[in-house]
Structure 1
């Protein structure tokens, strides 16, 4: 059965296709939106320590001097250059931001964009980044959950009250409220039993960390069961995933073969496919060709 599937662009390194000009890359996103992209996604590092060997998913793919744009600031610029695409992260390392400030930033972005924020949160992987930010490494998962609870309270009530382990307040006002009644929040965490409960209790979707389709299918099944147990509609679960980049006969990343992997993800229950132009294109023309293929892929899956 066909169902609505979304497609998005991971923006890491997009400026390299535009001579390193991030402003030109932002302007181009209006073209990608017109062709048919549903969302754009940014990745976050506030600072980077040099212990890249601690990256838990293989060799770290970027050099130390890579420019990590601050996601909320850059998404605000993208909001002004576009009209329809969802503004996303995968992931924002939320514990590095104070909870009330994060709530204000996201509410402001939602208003500026006319209600287009879909935020992906996680806890990152590098202890040195926490130490440099003055944030304890231990307890980071609990801090992230408190941040979600604080944001929901501040987005809903004025005055608002909250009493948690690290944040506590009474009769606090935070305006503006978001345009959306509920900003979608997705968590980029492994689908352990505890994390499945975290997503089902506090979030709207899941960002699988790796591209293994059987593991993703298993995680989706467990999350849908957890949603149902809590009286939530299992069909409302959002899952945004990046398919494994497949190579062609020439040894280079091949878009068509990669979309075959994406199709398997959709069959497993993924609701949004994300691809990185940096992996498949060398210039603007290549990026536009990628967007056209993504839009055609979506059309082949959507009623």
Structure 2
């Protein structure tokens, strides 16, 4: 592992969707504050702008889904907008990093997204990580008036504009029907060079090129997520072929809760896979962990998970 990479980090998802009206979202804030207190390194939230009715497309890898995948809600499920959520969550936390997993960045106009993300980074004290991907659902692109087939290039253009506006005091851009010059957009993000970009995708040339150009981190998808050791090795080679020879890219690995004989989550058994993930090159372990309804029990459970993780990875 490159010396420029951080110690292994522990991330947890913040549930920002519901199959039916939950009657309020205070639990979301309770969990965010809990993650902050317990020492979780990063919380991440998901993104859907709208739904069509062809949800089985999520299970089709050929259009960006994952084999056997199933959406957690129907088309009328409630999905909160992630950057709005992270702004609200940033106001009630102080140290946990705030990430998207993943934002369909191309659905937002690039200059507006640059402004939104920069504002969030400033208000949170430089805690934003922007995980981005192309998504799998044609209907979202159609609802935004955009080409589903051209979504990869749309994402590349979005990232080009973000980086330009975040880094240049007097910015200009000309490409694929978007042109501006001598544009000033302030404030810049707190983090040097702009908000870190985490690129999601399978091991292929387009994702490798995107990662080589823009990526601070990689969120593996499909087979690469299922077999991180092989996936990371293949992506390192692909990124090097695109001209980025130093592997200074963080990598996400997923970990599901193991349960004991009573069906309760087992911290020790869950964390047994962590050394193998870290040895494979994973730097950001994202744990799917059931959180008790009782806030005291939840605090005890998450704190035990974090402490166990620290003991293994120190």
TM-score bracket relative to the smaller structure:
0.7 to 0.9
Say which structure, 1 or 2, has more relative contact order (CA 8 Å, 6+ apart): 1
Which secondary structure state, in structure 1, belongs to the residue aligned with residue 99 of structure 2?
strand
Q: Which runs of 5+ in 2 are unaligned?
A: 60-65
Q: Which runs of 5+ in 1 are unaligned?
A: none
* Correspondence for 1:33: 36
Pick the aligned partner of 2:285 from 270, 273, 281.
Answer: 273
* Correspondence for 1:233: 246
Which secondary structure state, in structure 1, belongs to the residue aligned with residue 273 of structure 2?
helix
* Correspondence for 1:287: 298
Distance 1:60-1:151 versus aligned 2 partners, 3 A rule = same
Cα offset for 1:267? 2.3
* Correspondence for 1:194: 206
Pick the aligned partner of 2:15 from 12, 15, 19.
Answer: 12
The count of residues paired between Structure 1 and Structure 2 equals 299
More helix by share: 1
* Correspondence for 2:112: 101
The answer as to whether partners of 1:44 and 1:70 remain within 8 angstroms in 2 is yes
Distance 1:130-1:144 versus aligned 2 partners, 3 A rule = same
CA distances 1:230-280 after superposition (whole Å, capped 9, x unpaired): 35531x211122224445445676554333334432221111111234x45
The answer as to whether partners of 1:213 and 1:268 remain within 8 angstroms in 2 is no
**Once structures 1 and 2 are overlaid, which stretch shifts more, 60-69 or 106-115?**
60-69
CA distances 1:107-145 after superposition (whole Å, capped 9, x unpaired): 010100011111100111111111112221111011111
Distance 1:221-1:94 versus aligned 2 partners, 3 A rule = same
Distance 1:108-1:13 versus aligned 2 partners, 3 A rule = closer
Which residues in structure 2 correspond to 1:228-267 (within 5 Å)? 230-231=243-244, 233-234=246-247, 236-249=248-261, 254-267=266-279
Which secondary structure state, in structure 2, belongs to the residue aligned with residue 4 of structure 1?
coil
Distance 1:166-1:284 versus aligned 2 partners, 3 A rule = farther
Residue 64 (structure 2) pairs with residue 51 (structure 1): no
Which secondary structure state, in structure 2, belongs to the residue aligned with residue 243 of structure 1?
strand
Distance 1:132-1:194 versus aligned 2 partners, 3 A rule = closer
CA distances 1:8-31 after superposition (whole Å, capped 9, x unpaired): 110125889xx7532343144223
Distance 1:294-1:15 versus aligned 2 partners, 3 A rule = farther
Distance 1:302-1:252 versus aligned 2 partners, 3 A rule = closer
The answer as to whether partners of 1:91 and 1:188 remain within 8 angstroms in 2 is yes
Could you tell me the TM-score, scaled by structure 2's length? Answer: 0.85
Pick the aligned partner of 1:181 from 179, 187, 192.
Answer: 192
CA distances 1:81-105 after superposition (whole Å, capped 9, x unpaired): 1111111010001111011111111
Could you tell me the TM-score, scaled by structure 1's length? Answer: 0.88
Cα offset for 1:80? 0.8
Cα offset for 1:211? 7.8
Cα RMSD after superposing both structures? 2.7
- Distance (whole Å) between structure 2 residues aligned to residue 212 and residue 287 of structure 1: 32
Residue 100 (structure 2) pairs with residue 89 (structure 1): yes
The answer as to whether partners of 1:254 and 1:280 remain within 8 angstroms in 2 is no
Cα offset for 1:147? 0.8
Cα offset for 1:63? 3.2
